[in-house]
Every structure is written in C-alpha cells, then in structure tokens.
Amino acid sequence: MEFKIKAEDVKRDAEGRWGSILLRLAPALGPALERAGKHVQCPHPAHGGKGDFRLFKRNFEQTGGAICTCGAWADGISLLMWINGWDFKTALYEIAEELGYDVDSDQPRAVAPKVDLARLEAERKKKEAEEAERNKRVRAVLNRIWRESFPADSPISEPLRLYLARRGLATTQLPPTLRLHPNLAYHDEDQNLIGYWPALVAMVQTLDGKPVTLHRIYLTRDGRKAPVEEPKKLMPYPSDVPLIGSAIRLGAAGASLGISEGIETGLAVMQSTGLPIWVTITAKLMESVHIPEMVKMLCIYADKDRSQTGRNSAAILVQRMWQEGRQACGLLPTNAIPEAGKGIDWLDVLNIKGPQGIPNLTRVQQLLKKATVGK
C-alpha cells in the first residue's frame, strides 16, 4: 500500500520534537518522558516490567526510539504502534497531523516551511562534535576502570572468587575477560553516588574483538551481591561501536560454540561441558548476537522463565542459524520453576543435578539427530 504521506518525510520533520509528539499521542509514556534515558516501569499492560523500559539515552529526540526487556523500537512510529496498538498507517498519519501536515491532501504539507540549510549543517556539525567528545569521555572511563581492575587469579580478586564459589562454580582457570575492580563507584539512576564496592567487570566485545563496554556485578568483600538496587549494570558505551551483536567471551569460538544470557550461567555450562561460551547479557541481545563464520554448531543455553522470554529469544537465534546453513539447538532446563521464583537457569541445574545435568555437545548432537529422524 502506498500512502500519500511518506514515512521518511515524517521522521525527518519529527527530529528534535519526538518528546512533545509522543506525550500528546501516547500519555502512557509520560513517566518515561519525564525521566528520558532512565529506566522506568514498562508502560505496556502486557508486560509492566519494573525498571525495564527506557527511551534511548543519546538520540531519543532525533529518533523517538526506546528499549525494554520485552522489545526494542527503533523510532517513534514503531513505538506508537506498540504502545497504542495502532497499525503503521494510523501511527504515521497521527504523527503527521501533529507536525502540521494536511493528511487529507495529496500535498505533503499544508505549508512548506523554508529550510535553513546552513543552520541545519551547523547543528549537524555541532552534534557530531558533541558526540565525539562524549565518546572520548566514555572510552577514557572504560579504559581507566579496566586498567584499575585485576585478573581473576590475583590475590586482590578474592571477592570475585568467593562470589563464584558461593554460586557453586569453580574459581580456577577463569577467562581473562573477567576481572575484579577492588573499589568501584556505584551511582543510582539519577547519577547520585551511593558508595564504593568491589565489582566483577566483564569485557563486552564486537565480533571482530573490539571492546564495546564493561558489564559490572557489584559485590561485597565476602563474595555476595552488593546491597544496591541494581547489582548488575552495563556501563555506557561509545556510539560508534555496536552493542547489538556483541558478547562477553568466556572462551574462544571454534567449530562449536555455546551461548548463554548470564555470566554465571555461561561459566556453569563451560565448566560442565568444556564448550566455549559467549554471554549476551540479556535475552533480547541473544537474538541478534553475531556468530563467527567458523561456528557450524551453536548450542543455546537459554534461561527458563515464566515470561518465556528466554525460550522465545533462543528460538529466534536458532532459526537464524539454520537459515544461514548452520546447525543450532535451543536448550531449556527441564526442572520446574520454583513456586516463588521468576525462572530457573543452567547454574541452578548444575547445583541441583551436578555437571551431568547440563547437556554437552555430544548430547546436543544426539538431540538434533533424534529431532531430524522424528520428522
């Protein structure tokens, strides 16, 4: 279907105005708009995840985009379709009307304003300079924290080893991508300094090995999670490197590779099966993780949760791998989710059943062969 009004025109004219547009067209986004870039409760009644939803931190006014554990929306059109249950045409025309378009005319605008190209170019250059300066600051902080951290086998890294041991994991031969910062600042969502704690820091890398950012797990000195609102936090990252597709590498990829959502889960699988594991941090990021061409078999050790987010994300990745001509298998714990729990993962399985409870590569290949024969 061809619409009179073009999406590219609407997106261009909405740049810098998405906040006011969305506030009028989707009042449910009000709390997120008041705390732009901060995590708030998901506004969609089908999810409502506490502290899961936020508008894009760096370019929301330009794109109108947002992200949540239940999804991601690249622009304001898709965001309005989701939150209001609109189809594409409805969202497009509602935004156009807010921008002053004559939606009943074949003309793209009732009045076409004169564009000051020199001003737009100056603004573009200013934004580029500001973004470059921000990226420089972010990289400096990331590099400083990594330099201040210690390898997992250092005497100073005892809180890291105690934490892993308390979770039922081995503490020897840990990968170099996991380190301990002995005294890392913790800030709340409003950037107020709450205190300092030891922190496990993990390097997130692109497919070609470039560092993207650091993932933190704040700890106490005796190896427990720190008493803060969000013990696990991802650090900011430069805008010129992609978070989507990246992963924490617990082992070097080969012909076979395992994928998990969390670091502890990944270590449980790797220590039980010997399979190298890459960690995607969230289920949603699992869907789009970049897998090296050398990998011909991908084993996806998904979390089993009541929302079925882990299962669904694993299924998307499995489908993508088979479409690329590679083998893949999604694996979920068979154990029941505890009555008071949100889910169960493969670390829980390790602690309940031992290493034999986690399928190794041979078992995965048997499962795939059985599934193929059964068709």
Contacts of 297 (CB under 8 A, 6+ apart): 255, 256, 257, 326, 327, 328, 329, 361, 364, 365
At 84, list the tokens. 């209001």
* 375 pLDDT higher than 80: no
How many residues would you count in the chain? 375
Looking at residue 373, its pLDDT comes to 59
**Strand-strand pairing, 304-305 and 178-187:** unpaired
Fold topology of 117-239: DNA primase DNAg catalytic core, N-terminal domain (3.90.980)
Q: Which residue has the higher pLDDT, 51 or 306?
A: 306
Looking at residue 315, its pLDDT comes to 95
Sheet order of strands, 54-55 included = 54-55, 66-68, 71-73
| % the chain with pLDDT above 90 | 66
Q: Which CATH architecture has domain 244-375?
A: 3-Layer(aba) Sandwich (3.40)
- Where along the chain do its domains lie? 7-113, 117-239, 244-375
Neighbours of 26 (CB within 10 A): 21
Neighbours of 14 (CB within 10 A): 23
Tens-place pLDDT, residues 216-273: 999 999 999 999 999 999 999 998 888 999 999 999 999 999 999 999 999 999 999 9
Distance CA 354, CA 91 (A): 52
| % the chain with pLDDT above 70 | 93
Phi, psi of 183 (to 5 degrees): -160, 75
Span of 44-48, 109-113, 231-235 with lowest mean pLDDT: 109-113
Span of 127-141, 325-339, 343-357, 360-374 with lowest mean pLDDT: 360-374
Distance CA 360, CA 355 (A): 9
Please work out, in degrees rounded to the nearest 5, the angle formed at the alpha carbon of residue 263 by the alpha carbons of 277 and 338.
110
Q: Which CATH number fits domain 7-113: 2.60.120, 3.90.580, 2.40.160, 1.10.10?
A: 3.90.580
The torsion region of residue 229 among left (phi > 0), alpha (psi -120 to 50) and beta comes to alpha
Taking alpha carbons only, the member of 47, 89, 12, 109 closest to residue 312 is 47
Contact 168, 253 (CB under 8 A): no
Looking at residue 24, its pLDDT comes to 87
Q: Which residue has the higher pLDDT, 93 or 124?
A: 93
For residues 144-173, give the mean pLDDT.
97
Looking at residue 50, its pLDDT comes to 72
